[in-house]
A = this chain, B = another copy of it.
């Protein structure tokens, strides 16, 4: 009769963090030096014999060795850690980018420290300072505010830094973002093509580059078309801002015929106000927004939007990041990706 006894040894070994390089050295009769060299993949470089190599690898597997990152980092300075800082995780746009970027980073064997600066430059700076103690090897950031000093100084000092979405136009800090000017332009042009002449734009954080460029795209397109009746209102990428500003717009004696919202959060607030006031999209007012979202297709009126290539932004940013981490010579560039106009049903054709 055969008994299968579950000694539980395997799980035991795996959940107790104990075995280190010295244990393996003891077990194999080799030195910690040799063990370390094998385990860190430098066997060839240091000409470790085939036999020793094998012995070490077997022992490591058998004993469920897992290297202690902290010890290794202390010695080498390599933390296998990067920071991801963004202005607001509660904004679905940033949340989905964070998910993607985090996944990419993990794929490289690194971890990401994710921080929410809450659109507050002071918090951002504090986080950045805290992070020094974690010896981060790179920084992926959508900076809030327009103070670039600190970030620039990190970049100048050779720390791999990539801005995404938010960035600084005049500095040579690499970034990946959407062509925000073009995005606003095509959205506005779409409205104009449909016969709209009185258009309001609800903006987000004014000091941010994307917002500035979107507003610029909006204004220039309007003026190029000879349209003077445009207003730009608002000051935050939040639902609340969208709601408030829309309420105000709708109370005007002469309502705009269309609204362009510069983010999905603003659009959400805008829709809330519109619904409350009992007016209809697009019959009474047209709406188009920045940012795509899976739900847009199923809204009472499917919402036309300017889609940002979230996935591409994430991938390129991380590609740059690790190219730079692995080769300090590499110089990531500044790229703007094409947005895409997705026409649905929220813009009405005006007959004049």
Contact = CB atoms under 8 A, between A and B. Distances in A.
Contacts of A12: 153
10 contacts: A8-B153, A11-B153, A12-B153, A16-B157, A66-B132, A67-B133, A69-B134, A70-B79, A98-B99, A268-B294
B90 A99 contact: yes
A154 B15 contact: yes
Number of copies: 2
Interface stretch (A25-33, A51-59, A107-115, A210-218): A107-115
A113 B149 CA distance: 29
Interface in A1-33: 8, 11-12, 14-17
Most buried by B among A115, A129, A134, A293: A134
Given A11-B149, A15-B154, A268-B294, 15 more contacts: A15-B150, A69-B70, A69-B135, A70-B135, A89-B103, A102-B116, A103-B116, A111-B134, A112-B114, A268-B298, A275-B297, A293-B295, A298-B299, A299-B299, A300-B301
A239 interface: yes
A272 interface: yes
A349 to B, nearest CB: 21
Nearest to A83: B111
Interface of A: 8, 11-12, 14-17, 64, 66-71, 73-74, 79, 89-90, 92, 95-96, 98-99, 102-103, 106, 111-116, 129-130, 132-135, 149-150, 153-154, 157, 159, 239, 268, 271-272, 275, 293-295, 297-301
A73 B70 CA distance: 7
Contacts of A300: 298-301
Nearest to A8: B153
Contacts of A64: 129
Contacts of A153: 8, 11-12, 14-15
Contacts of A129: 14, 64, 66
Contacts of A299: 295, 298-300
Given A130-B66, A293-B295, A17 B135 contact: yes
Contact of A95 (B71, B96, B115, B298): B96
Nearest to A149: B11
A11 B114 CA distance: 23
A295 B295 contact: yes
Contact of A68 (B133, B150, B239): B133
A102 B89 CA distance: 10
A271 B132 CA distance: 47
A48 B297 CA distance: 66
Contacts of A295: 268, 293, 295, 299
Contacts of A79: 70
A182 B278 CA distance: 35
